[in-house]
Amino acid sequence: MTEGKKIGLQIKGMRKQCGFTQEKVANDLFISQSYLRKIEHSEANPSVNMVAKITSYLENALSGADKKEVF
């Protein structure tokens, strides 16, 4: 499996774990939905900065989702 495929699968998995659509993530990050889809399917070669931007966004969303207050 190529690195691009691994990265795409990881991003897709994280996005689904958050319960986010491609549209929401793309809109929040100011990128096109088609570009995000291509990244997830390893049809695009995103820059290291773009991968960091996407994964940071998803990691923050996941850590926020894990911090539910219990009353």
Task: Give per-residue pLDDT as tens, 33-45.
Answer: 999 999 999 999 9
Whole-Å CA distances, 69 to 19, 24, 26, 43: 19, 25, 28, 40
Instruction: State the pTM of this model.
Output: 0.85
pLDDT at 11 over 80: yes
> Is 35 within 8 Å of 26 (Cβ atoms)?
yes
Q: How confident is the model at residue 64 (pLDDT cuts 50, 70, 90)?
A: confident
pLDDT reading at 1 higher than 60:
yes
